Structure formats: structure tokens, C-alpha cells
A and B are shown apart, each in its own frame.
Chain A
Amino acid sequence: MSETVIKVNNLSRHFGDLKAIQNLNLEIEKGNIYGFLGPNGCGKTTAIRLLTGLLKPTAGTVNVLGYELPKDAEKLRMHIGYMTQKFSLYDDLSVSENLKFIAKIYGLSRQQQRSRLSELLSLYHLNQQKNQLAVSMSGGQKQRLALAAATIHKPDLLFLDEPTSAVDPENRREFWEQLFDLSDQGTSILVSTHYMDEAERCHKLAILENGIKRADGSPAELMQQMGAHVVEIASTDLRRLKQRLIKLPEIISAAQLGERLRVLVKNTVTEPLEYLKQQSMVSNEASMSLVRPSLEDVFVTSTGQR
């Protein structure tokens, strides 16, 4: 069952002195939604471009759907779909003109073009905008059009580069539903994002920082294996408390959430609540509790602060 669609070994890509990707190893299984989570400039887009054959690796090997890249990049094209970060269809063409153009480029027959077009228009609720120019559409509509175009030839593997950056929360939910439908039909999907809630929806994900993979696994695994305890402190004068706490070497981070302070304590400390109580600056009235880690905690623990 677990067929590998992407296998990457020691992949590196440098732009002059900038090391955009360093020693990346990946193994992505068929039918999965795999996420790249990381801040802007961490190498997500570069990684996707390397995996689609748009960039040549400085070192390492890439195998996508059994094709060696960059050698077999042209052969791979028929089997992958790519949704770019920026809307890259034609602004001055209408929805159906755009889709027809892409369909022809992928060499669909006249009959296939027609059936695929009506299928996609109704699937992505674009029937009413059929003759509207792309430039006049909303962010959500553009994004649905881009997804329709990227899947018009029924690719085995779909690359989505920050697909929801220009979309409101409601459209984002619906978009993810559509991704799960595609995944259910056997399409493997690789999606990059900087939203925690989106990353949490992925079957598996990799956390990238400065071109280096810091952690990977399913969201649940990542939270379980996280090397820190999460403590929430409800107290007064949280700003000053935070300033003092983050100076301690055992504290990874402290972030204020309204009236509470969320503190990540290294798991070299076995009893985090006791440890915090011993610190003189935590007042006695303060209530403390150990809580379940979130993906954001995983992200903070595995990146930065070193």
C-alpha cells in the first residue's frame, strides 16, 4: 500500500552564498497530503521548484513518481499539477478560456476538454463566473480556478505553493475539503503553508527553517515527540514575568495569550510545575497547569531559539 511518490536524498540547492535548501531528505507516500510548514523565506518554494524540476539541485537526488530529476523533468510534466503561489493564469482571459487553454496544452481531446470543463466548473462552483475575466474575480474564486486548472489533466501528484494566502477562512475550509476529496481519489498532494491550522490538517508534514528540515512526521507524532512541556500560567503582570522567564536557559519560549502566559519548558526538566514554582518571580497566587501541546508549540520548539 505504502507506495512512495517522492523520494529525496541529501538534496541541497544554493543560490550563490545563500543555502536555500540543505541536505533535505524526504519520503512521501501515495495518497497523502504532505505539508511543508515554515516561515517566509525558509525554502518552501525552492523545495517545491526542485521537486517539479524547475530548479536543478546543487547536490543530492530527487525521484518523483519514478522519474529522476532534473533529467526526466519533461516526462514528469504530464503527471503533475502545480499551483503557484501567485495567481499565474491569464488575467485577461475568462474562466472557461483559461481552462480551455490549459486543457489543450495538456493535449486533451475535444471531447475530454468539454467533459472536464463542465465537471470542473460545477465542482469548483465557477459556473456563474464562466465568462468573467480572471482579473475581476475574488481571491477565493481565483484560487478555485487555479486548482481547477492544476487538476484538469487528473495528475497523480499535485503541488500547491501557499494556496490559501489570499483567501478568507471560510474559503480556506472549503478548499481543504476539496483537497481531501482529491486525496481520497488517490491524488498525492504536497502543500506548503505558514498557517498552523492548515499544517495540522496534513497527513504528514515537515517543518522547514533556513532550508533545513527541523522535524517531520504526522502532526500527532510531532506533538507527542516534542522535546518540551507546555505550561500555562494565569497571573498578573504577565509582561514582566515573561521578560524574566525567557532569560532562564530551561525556558524555550513564553508567549502571552490574553490573560495567560504559555511557557515551553525543556524536557530536561522532569517536573516543570515544581520547577516554575521554585522560580522566585512567579507569585504564589499564580495558577499553573500542564496543557497539551499544539502544533505551534512544536513549531516553536523545533525552530529558532538556539
Chain B
Amino acid sequence: MKSLTRIQAIVSKELTQLKRDKMTFAMIVMIPMIQLLMFGYAINTNIRHIPVGIVDYSQSTLSRVLKQTVSATQVVTFTQAYTNVIQAEAAIASGDVRAVLIIPHDVSQRLARHQTVGLGLPPATDEETSRPVAQWIVDGSDNVIAAGIKSLRSMPLAELLRKPVNRTTPTFEVTLLFNPEQRTAVNIVPGLVGIILTMTMIMFTSAAIVRERERGNLELLITTPVHSIELMIGKIIPYMFIGGVQVFIILGLGHVLFNVPINGGLLQLAIATTLFISASLVLGLLISTIAKNQLQSMQMTLFVLLPSILLSGFMFPYEGMPEVAQYIAEVLPATHFMRLIRGVVLREADAMSMTYDIYFLTLFTIGGLIAASLRFKKNLD
């Protein structure tokens, strides 16, 4: 009974302090909004309009038509023309263009005998069919750009010669579920919930106890009968609500601005986010009992945040990471939440059926809470 009174006292104290701390209060709302707009608009893996140059040795009608056909894909935009390959390579090195298309002088012969056009008569020799029509020189240091240009390798060219397009049947039929338009925002926005919660939740609680120590409040608090577990729980509860508000902002705005569907049930969503918020808050508390001052707690928060962004599956697919990175990722609450939230929001999964991730987050929270309470000693030794 007294325990509940004390927890309630700490909760209402935290809320009052939070209400007076305008900066933190603004951050609760602004961080998710600004991050959502930034990531939602900026991160786009569908490449469009890469600036490229051209070296046209052929100077024929066909070479100009070829150039227009390539432009029409919208993958690249021709911004420069060079007279020779040496100039072109220098331009790539200096970053003026990301790639250069080199059209050889015998482009029409090559095209006429090319297999995508239909080989005509007499039958082309092996040597003739193996000759490409033209060449791309690409700045391969950026994988995404390189992949974008590589996707042009097998573009159909038959319409250049006003012939019917030679339809080829693909080996596999691919059906894209849940995000058939391949919009990046659909994948990013639910993941962003995890990243922003990792950032704000850990940041708020990691400062929680350190701040009391810095301001001298702790010296008084530890002479009172308050138990450390009461203090820990009292510090967490207010931020659970704040985390909920942030999730609402991100998913709500994501739905309105980026048309991200919310397929799963709200109860499922609540279970997944509550678990993750608790785990992050507890991690923050743990940091708080280790850090000596607010600067250190900030540094430790960053130490957790960066792997959460890079390894959790937010940026790169978990399956593609090397084994060691996967082990590290497994320890981070963000990884488990990333699976849960994408499952619930996009694939209409039942959170309770994803038992592994649910158990991990639950055990992480309980274990962390106990560890933080044990680490927080009520003395000054």
C-alpha cells in the first residue's frame, strides 16, 4: 500500500517536472514528426534521374534514338556529352556524372545482329551475338547507383528498329505481397517507430537518475524509505504514455502523408509497442545507474542507438548480415521490435504468435528492471 503511494508520488513528480520542462516536452512531439518527414521523403531506394554523360562515336540517327530510349526509362538523365572516353572517365572521377554511355561507331551493325532484336538472316555468328550494343562506364563506389544502371543491361531494343517486341517468358513469376508498388515509405515508417522510440525512450530515462544525482536530489532521496524498485517503476510509468503518444504520431502521420497501411489490429500493435517501450526504458535506466553524469549517459545512449539503426533490420535486411552482426542484432530490443511491428502493421500478423520476439522483449524488461534495481545502491559508497 505504502509502496503504491510512493510509486504514485514519483510518477506525479516526474509528470510535473516534465510539464515544466518545455524543451523536453517539445522534443516528445517534434522528434517523431521531423524524423518521420525526413526519413519518409529522403530515404528512397527507387533510383530516378541519375546524372550521366554520353560519348557518341557513331553520331548516327540510331545512336540518337538509342539515347532517347534510354532517357525514356527515367533511370538516367543525360546532362553532359564528351568527345572521348578519357574525358568521360575524368568526369566520373570528379563526380560531374555518375556514369557514361559509350556508343561505338558500328552501333547499327551491332544492333542489327543483336539477339534482343531478332537475328535476321543470314543467322548471326556466335561472335556477332555476343557483342553488346553499347557500353556503360559506372561509378561503382555507390552500390545503389550501380544496381540502377545495371538494371538497364537487358532493356528491350526492338522498338528502335520498329520491329515488334520480342516477348520473353520469365523463368519465375513473382507476386509481391503487402507492398506491390515497392514504395520505400511502407517499409521505413513502421521501422522508424522502433528507431525513434529507441532514441527518445533511452535518452529520457538514461538521464533520469543521473540528473537527480547531478542536482543533488539523490542524496536526499536515498535517506528516505523509498525502495529502489519503487523508484525505477515510478520513473518508467510516465514515459510509457509518452512512448504511446509518439507511436501514435509516427503511424498516424505515416498513414496520412505516406499512405502506409495499418493492417494489423490495434491491440496487437499496443502489445508490441508496450513491450518495446518498456524494454527501451529499462535499458535507459540501466545506463542511468552506470553513467556518472548526463554527458556519459548521452554517449551511452548513442552507443546503443547506432547499432539499433544499422543492425536491427531497419536499414539492411537482417538475413543479409554476417553471422556476427546477427548475434549483436539479436541482443538489441530494436531488432525484435522491427520484426514485430512490420509483422503487425504490414503483414497483419498476430503478435502473440511471434513468441520468440515477444518473450525476448518481456524477459529483457524484467531482467533489466531487476538489474537496474540491484545496481542502484541506496548509499554513496
A binds B: yes
A56 touches which of B12, B215, B379 (Cβ 8 Å): B379
Please report which residues of chain A, range 102-135, place their CB below 8 angstroms from some CB of chain B when the two chains form the complex.
102, 104-107, 133
**A55-B381, A88-B216, A88-B217 known; A106+B225 contact, CB < 8 A:** yes
Please report which residues of chain A, range 60-118, place their CB below 8 angstroms from some CB of chain B when the two chains form the complex.
70, 73-74, 77-78, 80, 82, 84, 86-93, 97, 100-102, 104-107
For the complex, what is the distance from the CA of A86 to the CA of B220, rounded to whole Å? 10
Contacts of A101 in B (CB 8 A): 9, 12-13
CB distance from A180 to the nearest CB of B (A): 23
Contacts of A70 in B (CB 8 A): 379
Please report which residues of chain B, range 1-48, place their CB below 8 angstroms from some CB of chain A when the two chains form the complex.
2, 5-6, 8-9, 12-13, 16-17, 20-21
B106 close to chain A: CB less than 8 A? no
Are the C-beta atoms of A56 and B225 separated by less than 8 Å? no
B141 close to chain A: CB less than 8 A? no
B226 close to chain A: CB less than 8 A? yes
Q: How many contacting A-B pairs (Cβ < 8 A)?
A: 76
**A52-B223, A77-B223 known; A84+B216 contact, CB < 8 A:** yes
Are the C-beta atoms of A92 and B379 separated by less than 8 Å? no
B17 touches which of A55, A78, A92, A105 (Cβ 8 Å): A92
Contacts of B223 in A (CB 8 A): 52, 54, 77, 80, 82
CB distance from A197 to the nearest CB of B (A): 27
Are the C-beta atoms of A77 and B225 separated by less than 8 Å? yes
CB distance from B115 to the nearest CB of A (A): 76
For the complex, what is the distance from the CA of A56 to the CA of B378, rounded to whole Å? 11
Please report which residues of chain B, range 163-222, place their CB below 8 angstroms from some CB of chain A when the two chains form the complex.
215-222
Most buried by B among A80, A101, A102: A101
B222 touches which of A54, A80, A86, A92 (Cβ 8 Å): A54
Count of chain A residues near B, Cβ 8 A: 32
For the complex, what is the distance from the CA of A100 to the CA of B218, rounded to whole Å? 17
A49 close to chain B: CB less than 8 A? yes
Complex: chain A residue closest to B223, CB-CB:
A82
Complex: chain B residue closest to A84, CB-CB:
B219
Contacts of B215 in A (CB 8 A): 88, 90-91
Complex: chain B residue closest to A91, CB-CB:
B215
Most buried by B among A52, A54, A80, A104: A104
Contacts of B13 in A (CB 8 A): 90, 93, 97, 101
B151 close to chain A: CB less than 8 A? no
A31 close to chain B: CB less than 8 A? no
Count of chain B residues near A, Cβ 8 A: 27
CB distance from A208 to the nearest CB of B (A): 19
B86 close to chain A: CB less than 8 A? no
For the complex, what is the distance from the CA of A82 to the CA of B21, rounded to whole Å? 28
A43 close to chain B: CB less than 8 A? no
Are the C-beta atoms of B6 and A104 separated by less than 8 Å? yes
CB distance from A33 to the nearest CB of B (A): 20
CB distance from B220 to the nearest CB of A (A): 4
A53 close to chain B: CB less than 8 A? yes
Are the C-beta atoms of A55 and B380 separated by less than 8 Å? yes
Complex: chain B residue closest to A107, CB-CB:
B2
**A77-B223, A82-B220, A88-B216 known; A93+B17 contact, CB < 8 A:** yes
Chain A contacts to B: CB under 8 angstroms: 49, 52-56, 70, 73-74, 77-78, 80, 82, 84, 86-93, 97, 100-102, 104-107, 133, 149
Closest 7 pairs (CB-CB, A-B): A104-B9, A107-B2, A88-B220, A82-B223, A77-B225, A88-B216, A86-B216
Q: 15 additional contacts, CB 8 Å, given A56-B381, A73-B379, A104-B9?
A: A53-B379, A54-B223, A77-B225, A82-B223, A86-B216, A92-B20, A101-B12, A102-B224, A104-B6, A105-B221, A105-B226, A106-B224, A106-B225, A107-B6, A133-B20
